[in-house]
Structure 1
Amino acid sequence: MAETVLIVDDERGIRESLRGVLEDEGFVVEKAESGDAALRRLATTPVNCILLDIYMPNSQLDGMATLEHIRRQYPHIPVVMISGHGTIDTAVRAIRLGASDFIEKPLNIERTLQAVRHAIQMHRPAPAPDGSDLVVGQSVPMRALRQQIALTGPTDGRVLIYGESGTGKELVALALHAASKRADQPFVAVNCAAVPEDLIESELFGHVKGAFTGATESRRGKFEQADGGTLFLDEVGDMSLRMQAKLLRALESGLIEPVGSQSARRVDVRVIAATNKRLDEAIEQGQFRPDLFYRLNVIPFQLPPLREHLEDIPALVEHFVRQFSQHYQRPPITLTEDAYEKLRRHDWPGNVRELRNLIERLVITETTSPVTAEQIPLDPAPNSVWASFQFGSLREGSEAFERELVRRKLAECDGNVTQAAEALGIDRSYLYRRIKALGISLRG
């Protein structure tokens, strides 16, 4: 698909000259004669790059003011500034405001094309990863999760992902998107708990200019940004009842109405939601609409906390070490066995996110490898699995105790199930069934 460049210049001759050059190179070209016109165009037209003149005396907004508006409202779009009155100070100010590049008039054709191509390349989203790169681990819960993603991803069925904070709900949503027919379309995420109540409607559905105090320009909402792709609503359980009603109408009709608008717009969006709350309890307490719950909960996913699949820690560590070593250009580190043992004995209240942050810290700060237990900034907690006592039921607590006991006996017997069964005083076949039911991996 051809990429679109928006030319913003108050001189018609320059707009037409640039249009001809860019179209000859295969670009789609949009034009605007002022900063105000550019912002109106951006509200309705997807753009890959903007060529923006600084000096526009006939525009209410000059180039710098327009740049500031664009960086606030459309931070994903690169802007190349052009000027016939360029100085070093002007160029520095433009770059500080977020411009990708700065070129002077009279424009050199090759320099201009190079600036546009480079800006687009630097802001091009990374290819969508496939699901196998996002769900790491060979424990029973992780293998089951990958199977569920492979089965559900290619459909347009709505998914509601349950899990504690830090278990990787957004990664699962990304994996579902990557496995879908929408993989080459946008994936847009919004954390419903992080957006103030008075702004969430505008965040989701957009608004028109003048809709409320501060709405100086029209803005597309997340539903429109995700049109054709996937919209991930994280922490949907924190949404107010008023917004739940508006979301329900959008899901039922496929129509969204920007704040302040008198007309609705149709969107084609697959919605994936996530929560760390018990929505059944929220429904009983009148805090969540049952009709919205049934709309979202077509296919439920349950993500286990890290303390329930500790056997995946080595795979997760290797994954994060590889990721952060490449990102920070640092040599990869390894961990000693006592370091892994310390990780396994931690309760991980922050789940996989906590482990990820720890490995990032080690990659940055540790200059020697392998890393030992003493170098890992965690407090040992040998009984942490049940000492925190954060279980919702007697069954959950009993299973946590049984899981830890079986793991320890298997470790003592070097993974020999027959010996572990004898030590526990149970039948070998029964122990195999419990190992599978508790999600314990027999791999090293």
Structure 2
Amino acid sequence: MAEKTILFVAPAQAVTQFFPFFKEAGIAAGIADSLAAALASIRKQPPGLIFSQAKIGVYTAEALLAAGQKEDAFPPVIVFTDRGTAAEAARCLELGARDYWLEPLTWEKIQAVMPGRSAPEPAPVEPAATRHASASQPSGKGFAIIGEHPAIRRVLALARQVARSKATVLISGESGTGKEMFARYLHASSDRAEGPFIAINCAALPEHLLESELFGHEKGAFTGAIARKLGKFELASGGSLLLDEISEMDLGLQAKLLRVLQESEFDRVGGTETVHVDVRVLATTNRRMEDAVAEGKFRQDLYYRLNVIPLKLPPLRERGQDVPRLAAYFVDKFRKSYDLPPLAFSADAKEWLLAYDWPGNVRELQNLMERAVLLAGAGPIRKSHFLIDGEGWQEEAGDDFEEAPASAAESAPAAPEGEEAAAGADGFVEAARLFEQTPAAGAGEVMPLDVMERHMIIKSLDRTEGNRTQAAQLLGISVRTLRNKLNEYRKLGIEVP
């Protein structure tokens, strides 16, 4: 395959404007205007990349992609069109297209995906820069939605198609699949990107408080209402409002929400004036809304109004090789946060990542990678560093313990008494013993056990902003064990969070 060659399947007048740029970049560009001509050119000299217009007369990019599925090592194809549809985008991506773009083509877009182009960071998904993530988006800057699997690429293709519309979008999927990330991505990719993005969790507040939060209230509307308060709809005017866990909203509020979606107006609690707003509404749920409607827990008319554009996010267990890609992304993110050197995965860790079921989806993966970064030190990351409920820690790390000097066992602090203390000994002290063999980054010397122990605790508390429960979970110990350690440090005069 000739990486320095690009083939356009398009009318010549649509692409010849870019040829001077290709010549300057040292890349050969060719043109074909039919399926037969394209296949003949590919078989003669496979290009590094193909740009195909969706339709040229009787030719369709889908026919090219279907033919490519029968060929070995077919070049990647980017489909572009001036009148795309979500259905066409989904079909092209399902047939193996690398991406689906809306015209106009620009040199900047093409240059960013040219063969051989490298990029050090995972791509904020955008068609102008498909670096590590092959599914991409015209704007959405700052978002690293990473994924090569067709299931996630189909969702991204639909998201790209509707991002610039005002249509309501219902994002569904299991907990931890990244629903809020997709909502923020839709906002950042829309014409409202410069406007506010406001999010509210509909499950976090009782009905009377949620109504006030959504629609605001007038002074004196209820006890404690000492001044007028603007609601989330007014604050989000000109931008987007995310209604997180919409399925948990009380039926009484659902009628008021339906009015806002249909008429773009509402009344504040205790108010007499109608407020008009310009808001795009995005909603998320981890439930089957059809079941909630059938059970009478959610209004059918509101469901239809919200479900104009449905985005269903696949669970992580169905995304195959996306798991190690995401794991590597999170590890790199956290090791930079903790000022650690680059970390690699051992063979057993890679195997475990692909075999694990990921009930907590991407959120669980992110948390486990942070834990692994803390425990791996200078690396590599092993299966034992994932510490799932403490299972397999001693067995998987056994080789490391056998190589440890005898003084390590002798100098380790005695485990506290009781069942919780036993969990602490397995999940923390043993982790510290493994750390004892790991040289401090750049120091070239073994870090003392008590120093590494304290370092792990303080780093975990910093990361969780002082939340002891989350810090204990991150370390794989009980809250009681963590509290005992902090008390020990205070008695020694050591300042702790």
Does the alignment pair 1:256 with 2:266?
Answer: yes
Q: Provide, for residues 223-249 of structure 1, a one-character-per-residue CA deviation record: whole Å limited to 9, x for no partner.
A: 111110011111100101101011001
Cα distance, 1:377–1:161 mapped onto 2, change above 3 Å: same
Does the alignment pair 1:265 with 2:288?
Answer: no
Give, in whole Å, the separation in 2 of the partners of 1:198 and 1:261: 15
Does the alignment pair 1:342 with 2:342?
Answer: no
Does the alignment pair 1:315 with 2:328?
Answer: no
Residue of structure 1 in register with 2:239 after alignment? 229
Give, in whole Å, the separation in 1 of the partners of 2:148 and 2:226: 51
Please give the secondary structure, in 2, of the residue aligned with 1:198.
Answer: helix
Please give the secondary structure, in 2, of the residue aligned with 1:310.
Answer: coil
Please give the secondary structure, in 1, of the residue aligned with 2:268.
Answer: coil
Q: Relative CO higher for 1 or 2, CA cutoff 8 Å, sep ≥ 6?
A: 1
Cα distance, 1:185–1:198 mapped onto 2, change above 3 Å: same
Please give the secondary structure, in 1, of the residue aligned with 2:208.
Answer: coil
Does the alignment pair 1:243 with 2:253?
Answer: yes
Give, in whole Å, the separation in 2 of the partners of 1:227 and 1:328: 39
Please give the secondary structure, in 2, of the residue aligned with 1:364.
Answer: helix
Q: Which residues of 2 match residues 163-312 of structure 1 at below 5 A? A: 163-312=173-322
Please give the secondary structure, in 1, of the residue aligned with 2:241.
Answer: strand
Cα distance, 1:131 vs. partner? 6.1
Cα distance, 1:144–1:261 mapped onto 2, change above 3 Å: same
Please give the secondary structure, in 1, of the residue aligned with 2:284.
Answer: strand
Residue of structure 1 in register with 2:372 after alignment? 362
Give, in whole Å, the separation in 2 of the partners of 1:318 and 1:206: 43
Structure 2, unmatched stretches of 5+, are 1-137, 393-497
- 1:230–1:270 CA contact under 8 A, matched in 2: yes
Please give the secondary structure, in 1, of the residue aligned with 2:282.
Answer: strand
2:388 aligns with one of 369, 378, 384: 378
Q: Provide, for residues 98-120 of structure 1, a one-character-per-residue CA deviation record: whole Å limited to 9, x for no partner.
A: xxxxxxxxxxxxxxxxxxxxxxx
- TM-score, normalised on structure 1? 0.54
Does the alignment pair 1:324 with 2:338?
Answer: no
Cα distance, 1:365 vs. partner? 3.9
Give, in whole Å, the separation in 2 of the partners of 1:256 and 1:320: 42
Cα distance, 1:263–1:365 mapped onto 2, change above 3 Å: farther
Cα distance, 1:132 vs. partner? 8.0
- 1:346–1:378 CA contact under 8 A, matched in 2: no
Cα distance, 1:205–1:331 mapped onto 2, change above 3 Å: farther
Give, in whole Å, the separation in 1 of the partners of 2:383 and 2:304: 47
Give, in whole Å, the separation in 1 of the partners of 2:378 and 2:332: 16
Give, in whole Å, the separation in 1 of the partners of 2:196 and 2:301: 27
Give, in whole Å, the separation in 2 of the partners of 1:367 and 1:355: 18
CA RMSD of aligned residues (A): 2.0
2:154 aligns with one of 144, 149, 163: 144
Q: Provide, for residues 249-306 of structure 1, a one-character-per-residue CA deviation record: whole Å limited to 9, x for no partner.
A: 1111111222111112111000011111111111111111011011100011111111
Cα distance, 1:333–1:209 mapped onto 2, change above 3 Å: farther
Give, in whole Å, the separation in 2 of the partners of 1:360 and 1:129: 28
- 1:307–1:347 CA contact under 8 A, matched in 2: yes
Q: Provide, for residues 151-195 of structure 1, a one-character-per-residue CA deviation record: whole Å limited to 9, x for no partner.
A: 111111111111011110001111111111011111111111112
Give, in whole Å, the separation in 2 of the partners of 1:256 and 1:284: 28
Percent of matched pairs sharing the same residue = 48
Give, in whole Å, the separation in 2 of the partners of 1:337 and 1:148: 36
- 1:165–1:350 CA contact under 8 A, matched in 2: yes
- TM-score, normalised on structure 2? 0.49
Give, in whole Å, the separation in 2 of the partners of 1:147 and 1:187: 22
Cα distance, 1:207–1:322 mapped onto 2, change above 3 Å: farther
Please give the secondary structure, in 2, of the residue aligned with 1:210.
Answer: coil
Please give the secondary structure, in 2, of the residue aligned with 1:203.
Answer: helix
Cα distance, 1:132–1:210 mapped onto 2, change above 3 Å: closer
- 1:207–1:260 CA contact under 8 A, matched in 2: yes
1:160 aligns with one of 154, 159, 170: 170
Give, in whole Å, the separation in 1 of the partners of 2:341 and 2:199: 32
